[in-house]
Amino acid sequence: MQAVHFGAGNIGRGFIGALLHQSGYQTLFLDVNDTVIQELNQKREYEVTLVGTEQEIISVKNVSGLNSSSHPDEAIEAISKADLVTAAVGPNVLAHIAELIAEGLKVRMRVSKEPLNVIACENMINGSSILKKHVFEYLNEEERQAAEQSIGFPNAAVDRIVPDQRPGNILGVAVEPYYEWVVEQTSIKGERPEVKGITYVDDLNPYIERKLFTVNTGHAVPAYLGHYKKYSTINEAMGDEEIKKVLYGALSETGEVVVRQHKFDQSEHGEYIRKIIERFSNPYISDYVTRVARGPIRKLGQNDRLIRPASLYIQLTGKEPVNLATVIAGVLLYDNEQDDEARRLQDQIAEKGYEATLQSVSGLAAGDPLIAAVMKHVNVMKR
Ligand SMILES: NC(=O)c1ccc[n+]([C@@H]2O[C@H](COP(=O)([O-])OP(=O)(O)OC[C@H]3O[C@@H](n4cnc5c(N)ncnc54)[C@H](O)[C@@H]3O)[C@@H](O)[C@H]2O)c1
Ligand SMILES: O=P(O)(O)OC[C@@H](O)[C@@H](O)[C@H](O)[C@H](O)CO
């Protein structure tokens, strides 16, 4: 079985690639990073090290790479013949891989009606559906109708902390042992892909919201407040009692939303939170706050990990999400020259101020109570 995976980065190699290999797939990684591609083609294998109290090494074999930017024709051919297509490139990159996928599907659909599933494994709600929308922009009406019959874009939630790797180690990845990959089976075309570790569900929404609004909202707390307090790793920030207090508070606010919206059992959700906090404190993982804080404009998006649960919290409880508002203030104060979105955010703030910037990046209406709640913390924190 042949899988084509877009993005030979942290999660691509450290999670998706490893499970595909363990499930018997040969994986072709499509990426734009020549160094990684060359190394993949030279070595044809790499190691994933699970780091916890005990270490385990997984050898990931039957892998190769292709620079999809400089070799689009080969990428299209590979997509046209694939048994499964996956992607972990970042939410903002999905639009840029859509044309290649569309061209691959056109070639495929000309010769066969064999079903294919395309799974976006990104930290976002409806990632595969959004990718489908971008792909369909490159298809004509007839091709769209054919794709509706045979090409599935099941949404997915993926969870494993994969930090940036040490310089010099091009392919090897150190990851936490924990993982979760949940895929929406109702959108699958043909047989469900046999991938070890995938949990199939009918409705993904509860799972992606629980993951994004617990793991990723929680992670944002030591990231942004950690950077604000000049810590460099998540681990260091987790040792700060003030940060921990906001973390517990934020997860209690999102917990109220997730449990009420999706009817999760309260005590099971408490256990889910406890486990996540333990994962953030894994002393064997060194994860920089700048990785977890990357892309602050995306993270202030209307449907992302902070604004959506904070808005729902206000709607559902009528209370102010004090802790989420603190973290959102931390995002607005996130100043990192190395991060393109952080620079753009700070430029916007310099031009039009915190309040107008928050409103424009989050899509919140003027006068939304969340804006006032956040501004209280911005005013205290910026002093
Ligand atoms: N790292 C984690 O802990 C983790 C966990 C769960 C989900 N995710 C999600 O997975 C996605 C990827 O995250 P990551 O941490 O692996 O990032 P990463 O930066 O390590 O990997 C992204 C890869 O995509 C490649 N890429 C960029 N543009 C491309 C293009 N046009 N075509 C093909 N490849 C391209 C990059 O070169 C890079 O190798 C994100 O949506 C992230 O939120 C990450
Ligand atoms: O990948 P991002 O930028 O959406 O979020 C940063 C981290 O919170 C994220 O990568 C987590 O490590 C991951 O989602 C854990 O499953």
Write the pLDDT tens digit of every residue in 206-264: 999 999 999 999 999 999 999 999 999 999 999 999 999 999 999 999 999 999 999 99
- Give the distance (Å) from ligand 1 centre to CA of residue 210: 21
Q: Is 3 annotated as a binding residue?
A: yes
pLDDT 10s digits, 172-204: 999 999 999 999 999 999 999 999 999 999 999
Ligand 1 contacts CB of residue 91 (under 6 A): yes
Whose atoms come closest to the Cα of 37: which ligand? 1
Distance 314 CA to ligand 1 centre (A): 32
Query: What pLDDT score does 166 carry?
Result: 83
**Which of 123, 125, 215, 286 for a ligand 2 pocket mutation test, highest count of atoms within 8 Å of Cβ?**
123
**pLDDT at position 359, please?**
98
Whether 97 lines ligand 1, by a CB cut-off of 6 Å, is yes
Quote the tokens at residue 185: 């089976």
Does residue 288 register a pLDDT over 90? yes
Give yes or no for residue 340 having a pLDDT over 90. yes
Distance 316 CA to ligand 2 centre (A): 26
pLDDT of residue 303: 97
**Ligand 2 site residues, Cβ closer than 6 angstroms:** 123, 159-161, 215-216, 219, 292, 294-295
The span from the CA of 203 to the CA of 212, in Å, is 15
Instruction: Indicate which ligand has the atom closest to the C-alpha of 180.
Output: 2
Burial class (CB in 10 A: 0-12, 13-18, 19+), 319: exposed
CA 123 / ligand 2 centre spacing (Å): 7
Architecture of domain 2-203: 3-Layer(aba) Sandwich (3.40)
Give the H or E element holding residue 58. Answer: strand 55-60
Residues with Cβ within 8 Å of residue 135, at least 6 apart in sequence: 98, 101, 102, 105, 118, 147, 153
ipTM above 0.90 for this complex: yes
How far apart CA 290 and CA 68 sit, in angstroms, is 28
The residue whose CB lies within 8 Å of the most ligand 2 atoms, and thus the one to mutate among 94, 160, 161, is 161
Q: What are phi and psi of 63, to 5 degrees?
A: -120, 150
Q: Is the CB of 5 under 6 A from ligand 1?
A: no
Token pair listed for 255: 């917990």
Residues 145-179 as b or e (16 or more Cβ within 10 Å = b): ebbeebbbbbbbbbbbbbbebeeeebbbbbbbbbb
Confidence (pLDDT) at 168: 82
* pLDDT tens digits along 138-157: 999 999 999 999 999 999 99
**What ranges do the domains of the chain cover?**
2-203, 206-381
Ligand 2: residue whose CA is nearest its atom 1: 123
* H or E stretch covering 353: helix 340-362
Dihedral sign, CA of 344, 345, 346, 351? positive
Q: Which atom of ligand 1 is nearest to the CA of 90?
A: 41
Ligand 2 center–CA 138 separation, angstroms: 30
Label residue 12 by pLDDT band (50, 70, 90). very high
Mean pLDDT, the chain, integer: 97
Nearest to 33 by CA among 2, 73, 60, 6: 6
Ligand 1 atom nearest residue 127's Cα: 41
Closest ligand 2 atom, CA of 223? 8
CATH number of 206-381: 1.10.1040.10
Residue 169 has pLDDT above 90, yes or no: no
Q: How far is the CA of 180 from the centre of ligand 1 (A)?
A: 17
Amino acid at 49: T
For the segment 372-380, the average pLDDT, to the nearest whole number, is 98
Mean per-residue pLDDT, 34-43: 98
Q: Determine if residue 323 is left, alpha or beta; phi over 0 gives left, psi from -120 to 50 gives alpha, anything else beta.
A: alpha
Instruction: Report residue 383's pLDDT band, with 50, 70 and 90 as the boundaries.
Output: confident
**Residue at token pair 């734009």:** 32
pLDDT for res 360: 97
- pLDDT given for residue 167 in this prediction: 83
273-282 average pLDDT score: 97
Ligand 1 touching residue 7 (CB < 6 A) = yes
The number of beta carbons lying within 10 Å of the beta carbon of residue 321 is 28
**The model's pTM:** 0.97
Q: What percent of the chain clears pLDDT 70, i.e. is strictly above it?
A: 100
Residues 153 and 24: their CA atoms lie apart, in Å, by 22
DSSP tag of 23: T
* 7 labelled ligand-binding: yes
pLDDT, position 208: 98
pLDDT on residue 262 = 97
Q: What is the DSSP string of 171-197?
A: S-EEE-S--EEEEEGGG--SSPP--TT
